[in-house]
Amino acid sequence: MHYPAWKYVLIVVVLAIAGLYALPNLYPDEPAVQISSESAATVLDETVLSDAETALTAAGIDYHDPSFGDNSALLRLNDGETQLKAQEVLRRELGGDYVVALNLAQTTPEWLRSLGAKPLKLGLDLRGGVRFVLEVDMDKALEQRLDSAVSDVRRALRSEKIPTKGVSVQGTGLLLHFNDVDARDRAEQILLATERNRFNTRAIIDDQGPGIELTYNDATLDEINTYALEQNLTTLRNRIEEIGVAEAVVQSQGDNRIVIELPGVQDTAVAKRILGRTANLEFRLVADENATYDGGVVPAGTESYPFMSLDGPPSLLKRQPILTGTSVQNAQVGRDENGTPEVNITLDTAGGKLMQNATRDAVGKQMAVLFIENKQKVEFSTDPQTGETIETRTPYAETKIISQANIQAVLGSSFRITGLDSPAEASELALLLRSGALAAPMYFIEERTIGPSLGQQNIDDGLFSTQVGYALVFIFMIIFYRLFGMIANIALAFNLIIIIAVLSIMGAALTLPGIAGIVLTIGMAVDANVLIFERIREEISEGARAKSAIVAGFDRAFSSIFDGNITTLLVAIVLFSIGSGPIKGFAITLAIGILSSLFTAIIVTRALVQLAYGNRKSVKKLSIG
């Protein structure tokens, strides 16, 4: 009975790596609160840490190991309940200029972290997490679509050389005025041909003269709302994928709300800032009047905006943008020849043509990159009757110029945005643009933390079920298969270590369905050993020698084990492909468990049996029940 030496080496290497990467799970994370700035461009100093310590001390909340780094402050708490109280106190005392987020501070030794080893993430139903509800501003979505429609209508009439007295937004449509009825009638015929699918058209005469009312029809209004919701869903999923939150749930709720669940991690400072931001760009030509603009009344057709760095006077830009961030196809962080951070932008084909047309006659002039962000101002007040703290959120738009430079040649589909203050700001801007533009602003209307006590109960229940399952299997195998049963139990323990290590390396979040997958894997792993052991028994009953029975048992049971596990693996792949959230978590755990079971049930068990019986010259009887 011979067993190749390379298989022993393989087992030792696999188990050493699995043990190393499963080890961080013995060092659980500590609850903490993290304080960061609302914007990546704002640099904090350590005074925010001292202010936070003062506030917690005054509130009688115990904390330990305060630290400051990476533009944020971190304070560790003793338990989850204290963590929630600390967040409430700090949000009230520090105000709306800071993001006070729940966090989990690592306790894993530095030498393990240097190897990339990290503890297994736990899902929302186990460790808890954050649940956001965001409301999409459908009025803003309609406003943006109407602004675009104004440009389309003007362009269509200009191409037919029909002059207008003005095109303005009115309610859910547009209002056009003309110099005479003949021009109005010709425009109506053109608009009926080009816009009848979007607008209801009506000719009018009011105090400004002949005109046309264009009103969005119901189908178009529904399409605008649906597009805004679906585009925001897609963008949020892309952003969550960019920041690496595993097993996240992003789904619509009603006609204008989006629910986001971030499981497994509680470091929501960056996530909340990125998810809540509506970042967009506009490329605009600098107005000719800017050279003489002194900050007074802006000329017609222009708008005045400050620079993001707040250095120097505001700049006067043309009201009509060349294009917006919706034309951005890719955005990557880079550095210029001086080492200053920049964002390299690639436009889509349509955007490239618009930029080319706009800059063809503007060489030597200046173009500005305008950064537009819809935000909320958070204010806290106290109810005089109940004494409760009231949180008020007021939406507002913050628009600033990122950069302004001379156009030295006709531009195409590639750009560089310079003038950024830090690599963090450049990275965040690139992420927001790369993940897609939001079709409309969104505002947080609910932020709910899944309580650690509930999560701990689920963890305890899950661990208990796993322990009971393993104990029952352990006892069963010992009673029915004796020494071979003990060998199977050892292989099963190796199997659990491998599963935990692979999940930790992948960064997957373990949920209750995932635990169910592990429990199912335990049964399947033992099933493979049962097939092997029963086959060995059959060989012995037919008169085969002990060592020959072992070899025949493993060889002849292999096809049945392989076929059974592969069919289950195919089911796991199907579940992962069509499922979402917890279903995917179950499928991933099941698939990993199947592959690990094949390895431990066939290779590890075989090696242990070889160690037990292979070196004996004569084996008269096997301890297999």
- Tokens 């509800």 -> residue: 133
What total of structural domains would you count in the chain? Answer: 4
**How many CB atoms neighbour CB 83 within 10 A?**
25
pLDDT surpassing 70 at residue 66: yes
State the average pLDDT over residues 443-463: 68
* Contacts within 8 Å (CB) and 24+ apart, 223-228: 224/138, 224/141, 224/142, 224/145, 225/138, 225/141, 225/255, 225/256, 227/141, 227/439, 228/136, 228/138, 228/141, 228/439, 228/440
How far is the first Cα of the chain from the last one, in angstroms, to the nearest whole number?
A: 21
pLDDT surpassing 60 at residue 247: no
Q: At 369, which CATH number?
A: 3.30.1360.200
Q: Compute the C-alpha angle 240/245/249, nearest 5°.
A: 70
Paired tokens of 95: 């105000």
Phi, psi of 319 (to 5 degrees): -65, -35
Burial of 159 (0-12, 13-18, 19+ CB in 10 A): exposed
Same structural domain, 317 and 407: yes
Q: With residue 52 as reference, give the H or E element that holds it.
A: helix 47-58
User: Which residues are within 8 A (CB) of 372 and not within 5 positions of it... i.e. 6 or more apart?
Assistant: 278, 279, 280, 281, 282, 397, 398, 399
> Strand 389-406 relative to strand 366-382: parallel, antiparallel, unpaired?
antiparallel
The stretches of 315-451 forming alpha helices (DSSP H) are: 349-360, 423-434
Same structural domain, 413 and 472: no
Higher-confidence residue of 191 and 309: namely 191
Residue 237 lies in a domain: no
Residue 434 lies in a domain: no
Same structural domain, 601 and 476: yes
Residue 120 lies in a domain: no
> What range does the domain containing 364 cover?
279-419
Mapping DSSP to helix (H, G, I), strand (E, B) and coil, where does residue 206 land? Answer: strand
Paired tokens of 262: 């971030």
Tell which of 105, 125, 159 closes a domain: 105
Same structural domain, 351 and 336: yes
Most confident range, picked from 188-202, 239-253, 264-278: 188-202
Residue 294 lies in a domain: yes
Q: Are 24 and 112 in contact (CB under 8 A)?
A: yes
Task: Round to whole Å and give the CA distance between 86 and 60.
Answer: 10
What's the pLDDT tens digit per position in 415-433?
A: 777 766 677 767 766 766 6
Task: Round to whole Å and give the CA distance between 474 and 477.
Answer: 5
Same structural domain, 499 and 528: yes
Task: Round to whole Å and give the CA distance between 425 and 567.
Answer: 49
Q: Compute the C-alpha angle 373/376/377, nearest 5°.
A: 125
Most confident range, picked from 290-299, 476-485, 503-512: 476-485
Q: With residue 333 as reference, give the H or E element that holds it.
A: strand 328-335
DSSP 28: P
Residue 233 lies in a domain: no
What's the pLDDT tens digit per position in 520-560?
A: 887 777 888 888 888 888 888 888 888 888 888 888 888 88
Residue 308 lies in a domain: yes
Same structural domain, 173 and 321: no
Q: Are 113 and 120 in contact (CB under 8 A)?
A: no
Tell which of 184, 205, 220 closes a domain: 220
Same structural domain, 561 and 544: yes
Task: Round to whole Å and give the CA distance between 542 and 420.
Answer: 80
Query: What is the structure's pLDDT at 94?
Result: 81
Same structural domain, 55 and 152: no
Distance, C-alpha 5 to centroid of its chain: 45
Higher-confidence residue of 321 and 424: namely 321
Residue 445 lies in a domain: no
> Strand 173-177 relative to strand 509-510: parallel, antiparallel, unpaired?
unpaired
Give the pLDDT band (50/70/90) at residue 295.
Answer: confident
What's the pLDDT tens digit per position in 77-125?
A: 988 778 878 888 888 888 766 778 777 788 888 888 888 888 887 766 7
Higher-confidence residue of 216 and 582: namely 216
Q: At what angle do helices 452-506 and 5-22 cross, to 10 degrees?
A: 140
pLDDT surpassing 90 at residue 18: yes
Query: What is the structure's pLDDT at 19?
Result: 92
Q: At what angle do helices 80-94 and 452-506 cross, to 10 degrees?
A: 100
Q: SS3 sequence, 531-596?
A: HHHHHHHHHHHCCCCHHHHHHHHHHHHHHHHHHHHHHHHHHHHHHHHHCCCHHHHHHHHHHHHHHH
Query: What is the structure's pLDDT at 469?
Result: 78
Mapping DSSP to helix (H, G, I), strand (E, B) and coil, where does residue 607 land? Answer: helix
Same structural domain, 388 and 481: no
Task: Round to whole Å and give the CA distance between 498 and 191.
Answer: 67
Residue 82 lies in a domain: yes
- Tokens 């530095």 -> residue: 110
Q: At 9, which CATH number?
A: 1.20.1640.10
Same structural domain, 149 and 64: no
Same structural domain, 314 and 385: yes
State the average pLDDT over residues 263-277: 59
Same structural domain, 415 and 489: no
> Strand 302-305 relative to strand 315-318: parallel, antiparallel, unpaired?
antiparallel
Give the pLDDT band (50/70/90) at residue 337.
Answer: confident
Percent of the chain topping pLDDT 90: 8
Q: Are 121 and 509 in contact (CB under 8 A)?
A: yes
Tell which of 175, 199, 220 closes a domain: 220
Q: At 87, which CATH number?
A: 3.30.70.260
- Average pLDDT, rounded, for the chain: 81
- Amino acid sitting at position 340: T
Query: What is the structure's pLDDT at 57?
Result: 92
Q: At 152, which CATH number?
A: 3.30.1360
Task: Round to whole Å and give the CA distance between 274 and 262.
Answer: 13
